A and B are shown apart, each in its own frame.
Chain A
Amino acid sequence: MPVFIGQDVTRIDALDKVLGRAAFAYDLKTDDMLFACVVRSEKPHALIKKIETARALSMEGVAAVLTHIDIPGENSFGAIKKDQQFLAKDRVRYVGEPIAVVVGVNEEVARKASGFVRIEYEELQVISDPFVSMTSPVLIHDEGNLLSHRKVIKGDIEKGFNESDVIVENTYRTTWVDHAYMETEAGLGYMDDDGRIVVVSSTQNIHYKMKEISRMLAMPPERVRVIQATTGGGFGGKLDVTVEGFLALCVYHLKRTVVMRFTREESFLAQTKRHPLHIEYKTGARKDGSINAVRVNITGDTGPYISYGETVCLRAAVHATGPYEVPNVHVDSRMFYTNNPVAGAMRGFGVPQLAFAHESQLDKIAGILNMDPLDIRIKNALRRGSLTATSQALEHSAGLPETLKRIEPFWRSRERQNDRRGFGLGCMYYGIGNTGVSNPSDCYLTFMPEGRIALHSGVCEIGQGSDTVLMQILCESLAMDDEKIVLLRGDTDTSRDAGSSSASRQTYISGMAVCDAAQKMKKYLEKEGYYSGRPLTDICEAALGKGDAMFEGHFDPPTTPVDMETSRGAPYATYAFATHMTEVEVNEVTGACRVVKVHAAHDVGRAVNVKNVRGQICGGIAMGIGLALMEEFSPGKSKSLDDYYMPTSMDMPEVEAIIVEDREPTGPYGAKGVGEPALIPQAASIVNAIKDATGVEARELPCHIERLKLLLEARRQK
């Protein structure tokens, strides 16, 4: 029997994508479709006095202009809390907030007419800085401007510093980053023959969106169907409701097919961004290099709505020490509302920002103690038996020491080709799945009349490769060729809720759900004689006749909620670990930093698809280069990819991906996850490499050519 796990199985979506056959949400169309576009707030903070739609409505080809009054159910959505209005009623809190939807016979008509919807505002005082928000009498929400304050407390922080020989204290800053997926937000909605609302969109989570639409339209969820189109990237930006609510509302009123496609400019203006964090970081260490105390104060700008702000707040806090065993920890993580763009989920949920800080701190301490940066990491690395910052004991699959060991030969033999080159290390750990909450995945298997098995999966394939990985897991579990299996994915009508494609959770959690279903089906197949040669077609036919048709799979990772005061607990069932070693070359004349080579060692538990893991690592490195060196979203200034620089293939270094497999006993065939881990340590390792090459310490990201040159100039003048 062929083996599927650990093989370079070609991705099942590869051929359609390279041949251009895959229909992305942006490509969807029908002959009679209408086009809808959004009228957005031009004010960052204002009361809406009047919305005038008559002129737009009277224009030729305009089918409807919808506002908050047209929403039959609840005018609110939100992944964590329902605090955001689909269409603003009486107040707007950021530039780009939706106020009306204009539907026309085509894009030109709709966009033109949307310019004639007149909004009368009464402007309110604008808060554009979290430090102003902190004490301002101007409240963005009645409950106050503090969204969330989470703490991590372990040991005795004062004693920890008192007993430290070296103390290093620095402030680190990061800014907004756009997801900049290749495909902007898009989708198509229609009414099916039964009068149900159907939305096909570019999304990371179909069941969540079905529920939001159902609440908005005051319709039972079974009257709503959400289908995932081929999706051109997510990175967290398509977790929130984007086009789905508007499409459903248009279909509800017009009973016609309606399409929406955000322009790049619109996506930049109105969609969520990575949280800018201000991180005050104090580290105490003993002479032998062991970290004794970590005090972190995180202040984040979450924009005017929650989105995933609370998640980022907590995740940043519990990962703040980095992958090291620290006896005394005190972290304060606070998110404040502002009238800046809504900051939401983006690959890593705050952890890449923290990695930049803790890895810079560690190199600084190593420098003072005259220790090798690798040695200090080996000394402090979390390993089996360690207690994390939340006092969770790591009982298994803790492969950080192994990633360091695999990097070690490259590190020890590193040589500067010229004096502009430098090397840096970055380590990370990352909890797989949602933080301290139940986040189950469900799936089921059925027999098909034509004699095959169907995997019903609600897991959104967003380019990360989940379709292929889940199929590999199923094939392996059933010891069955993939030709006998049909994947029915991404349709709320034919699948159960698998949770979002986020938090690096699908391989681990949905993979286990598939294993669970497969084990049940395998027992049945054994009983029915499949493994002793009875044809599957026979078994299918008989099973369907008897009504033995469905095998359910379920997995919810074992976690405990974290304590509200100390975050003590086991917020994740398992963690991924990684070490990156990056070589850079800095042009001291121009301030340009080129990433030359990256060695990236990742403990993924088990690589289900080796090629795909390598692909994720390369993608994470590319995004890390953007975070470290280029990407800077300035509200009001960054309008499109014309003025927002992100890496191209020409900025990619040579990558050596090293896969470490410290198997996770609760994961499918030992697998954990790699989606976000691939990115997290990269920016940190670049910053440390720049320090090695030039002696300058970047404390603010991105360290783009101008910032780096100014740092070099300041050093020269010293």
Chain B
Amino acid sequence: MLPDFASIIAETKEEALSCLSSLERAKVIAGGTDLMVKMRSGERYDHIIDITNIRELDGIAVKDGVVVIGPVATHARLGSDAAIRENAPGLALACSLVGSPQIRNMGTIGGNIVNASPAADSIPPMLIHDAMLTLESKGSSRKVRLEDIIVAPYKTSINTRELLGPVEITSLKGYREGYFRVAKRATWAISRLSVAWAISEEEGTFKDVKLAIGSCTPMPFRAVKVEGLLRGEKRQPGIIAEAVRIALEEIKLISGIRPSFAYKLPVLRGILENVLGGE
């Protein structure tokens, strides 16, 4: 059962920040599809601050090749938004695969980030778009890269007084971009494995490759070694095999050998071969 708590519906960012700075054991809610589950199984907060009414934290805007996403934008919105589909189609796809329609209507991109699940669908696509986060607290503000903020599974370096503000991602128009995930059923499932990619090619040569992998390591990660290896190389089986080998090695290095890898690594190999091979 849900423990008792006081709830505050903040109408402005200032109100939310002031609550966060003054209240003890306070927690922001932005959809609650993760938070309510955790609270039901015993996580306790005295104050729950709902930020979904705050206009300036909502919405999606594009400016100079940068897409600014309000943290309370829902997965449903990101999945169907024209600007996201144009500038970050992999992210749109990933968001449209989260949970069920009900979860996508409630869950938000900000919530997905701060929950920091290794299996979060939106994180690998945001990593390839070099997502930059703004964190605000009363009287100050800082900018941090998404990959620097997640420090462990379900753990970020966001402090309890801070509020996640707009998320900025760079457009990768002109790239071949995608997202693929493996789940135990057609929908309403947590990703067992996910890959986000954006590849720019010219006459069979990799100009630029961006690759992020989820659910294999404690935090979804950018496979920068693979990206570096492929940049400028001709797309042919030898180099792809080498790239896949490096990706798998890197995962083993980060995570050690896990029982689940008997399944995951062969699957990842197949996915990466298809992705890099252009299938």
In residues 176-224 of chain B, which contact A (Cβ within 8 Å)? 182, 184-189, 192-193
Cβ of B185 and Cβ of A713 under 8 Å apart? no
Measured in the bound complex, the distance between the Cα atoms of B187 and A647 in whole Å is 9
The answer to the question of B271 belonging to the interface, with a C-beta cut-off of 8 Å to chain A, is yes
Give a binary string over B159-184; 1 marks a CB under 8 Å from any A CB, 0 the rest.
Answer: 00000000000000000000000101
A595: nearest chain-B partner, CB-CB: B186
A592, CB-defined interface residue at 8 Å: yes
Cβ 8 A contact of A630, one of B185, B192, B263: B185
Min CB–CB distance B185 → chain A (angstroms) = 5
Q: Is A710 an interface residue (CB 8 A)?
A: yes
Contacts of A375 in B (CB 8 A): none
Given A108-B1, A111-B1, A705-B192, answer yes or no on A591-B186 (Cβ-Cβ < 8 Å): no
Contact flags A643-656 to B (C-beta < 8 A → 1, else 0):
00111101100000
Task: Assess whether A594 is in contact with B184, with CB atoms less than 8 Å apart.
Answer: no
In the complex, the chain A residue whose C-beta lies closest to that of B189 is A645
Q: Show 30 A/B contacts (Cβ-Cβ < 8 Å), sorted by A.
A: A108-B1, A589-B267, A589-B270, A589-B271, A589-B274, A590-B193, A590-B267, A590-B271, A591-B263, A591-B267, A594-B186, A630-B184, A630-B185, A642-B37, A645-B185, A645-B189, A646-B185, A648-B186, A648-B187, A650-B185, A650-B186, A650-B187, A651-B185, A704-B184, A705-B184, A705-B192, A706-B263, A709-B266, A710-B263, A713-B266
Q: How far is A642 from B192 in the complex, measured between Cα atoms in Å? A: 14
Per the bound structure, the CA–CA distance linking A650 and B97 in Å amounts to: 12
Hey, which chain B residues are within 8 Å of A705, CB to CB?
A: 182, 184, 192, 263
CB-CB under 8 A for A651 and B192, given A588-B270, A590-B270 = no
- Give the A interface residue count (CB, 8 A): 23
Q: Is A107 an interface residue (CB 8 A)?
A: yes
A532-B186 Cα distance, complex, nearest whole Å: 60
Does any Cβ of A come within 8 Å of B6's Cβ? no
Q: How many residues of B contact A (CB 8 A)?
A: 19
| Contact, CB under 8 Å: A592 / B182 | yes
Contacts of B263 in A (CB 8 A): 591, 705-706, 709-710
Give the docked Cα–Cα distance between A705 and B189 (Å): 13
Q: Which of A645, A646, A709 contacts B267 (CB 8 A)?
A: A709
A630 to B185, CA, bound (A): 8
Query: Given contacts A648-B187, A705-B182, could you give 10 more A-B pairs where the C-beta distance is less than 8 Å?
Result: A588-B270, A590-B267, A590-B270, A645-B189, A647-B185, A648-B188, A705-B184, A705-B192, A709-B267, A710-B263
* Chain A residues with CB under 8 A of B186: 594, 648, 650-651
Chain B 265-279, CB within 8 Å of chain A: the 1/0 string?
011001100100000
Q: How far does the alpha carbon of A713 sit from the alpha carbon of B264 in the complex, in Å?
A: 12
Using CB atoms, name the residue of chain A closest to B266: A713
Instruction: Give complex CA distance A479, B188 in Å.
Output: 48
Contacts of B270 in A (CB 8 A): 588-590
Please indicate the chain B residues that have their CB under 8 angstroms from the CB of A648 in the complex: 100, 185-188
Chain B residues positioned under 8 Å from A592 (CB to CB): 182
Contact with A along B95-128 (1 / 0, CB 8 A): 0000010000000000000000000000000000
A647 nearest in chain B by CB position: B185
Within 8 A of A (CB), among B1-21: 1
Q: Which residue of B lies closest to A265 (CB)?
A: B41
Q: Which of B72-92 contact A (CB under 8 A)?
A: none
B262 at the interface (CB under 8 A from A): yes
C-alpha gap A706/B193 in the complex (Å): 12
A713 to B262 alpha-carbon distance, docked (Å): 10
Give the docked Cα–Cα distance between A288 and B262 (Å). 42
B63 to chain A, nearest CB (A): 37
Question: What's the minimum C-beta distance from A110 to chain B, rounded to whole angstroms?
Answer: 10
Q: Which 3 A-B pairs have the closest CB atoms?
A: A589-B270, A650-B186, A650-B187
- Complex Cα spacing A645 to B100, Å: 14
Q: Whole-angstrom distance between the alpha carbons of A254 and B267 in the complex?
A: 59
Which residues of chain A come closer than 8 Å to B262, judged between CB atoms? 710
Which residues of the partner chain A approach B184 to less than 8 Å between Cβ atoms? 630, 645, 704-705
Task: Using CB atoms, name the residue of chain A closest to B271.
Answer: A589
Looking at B37, B267, B270, the one whose CB has the most chain A CB atoms below 10 A away is: B267
- Within the complex, the shortest CB–CB distance from B76 to chain A, in Å, comes to 16
Min distance, Cβ B82 to any Cβ of chain A, angstroms: 25
Complex alpha-carbon distance, A592 and B158, angstroms: 37
State the Cβ distance, A439 to closest chain B Cβ, in Å.
37
A651 to B267, CA, bound (A): 21
Q: How far is the CA of A366 from the CA of B266 in the complex (A)?
A: 32
- A651 and B184 alpha carbons, distance in the complex (Å): 10
Whether A107 lies near B271 (C-beta < 8 A) is no
Q: Which of B1, B188, B189, B267 contacts A107 (CB 8 A)?
A: B1
- How many Å from the CB of B191 to the closest CB on chain A? 11
Which parts of B228-275 form the interface with A (CB within 8 Å)?
Answer: 262-263, 266-267, 270-271, 274
Residue of A nearest to B37 (CB): A642
Identity of the chain A residue whose Cβ is nearest the Cβ of B274 in the assembled complex: A589
Q: How far is the CA of A642 from the CA of B262 in the complex (A)?
A: 23
In the complex, chain B residues whose CB is within 8 Å of the CB of A706: 263
Alpha-carbon distance between A650 and B262 when the two chains are bound, in angstroms = 28
Q: Nearest residue in A to B193 (C-beta to C-beta)? A: A590
Min Cβ gap B273→A in Å is: 8
Cα distance A650–B189 when bound, in Å? 11
A592 to B189, CA, bound (A): 13
Alpha-carbon separation in the docked complex, A163 to B274 (Å) = 51
- Cα distance A549–B192 in the bound complex, in angstroms: 65
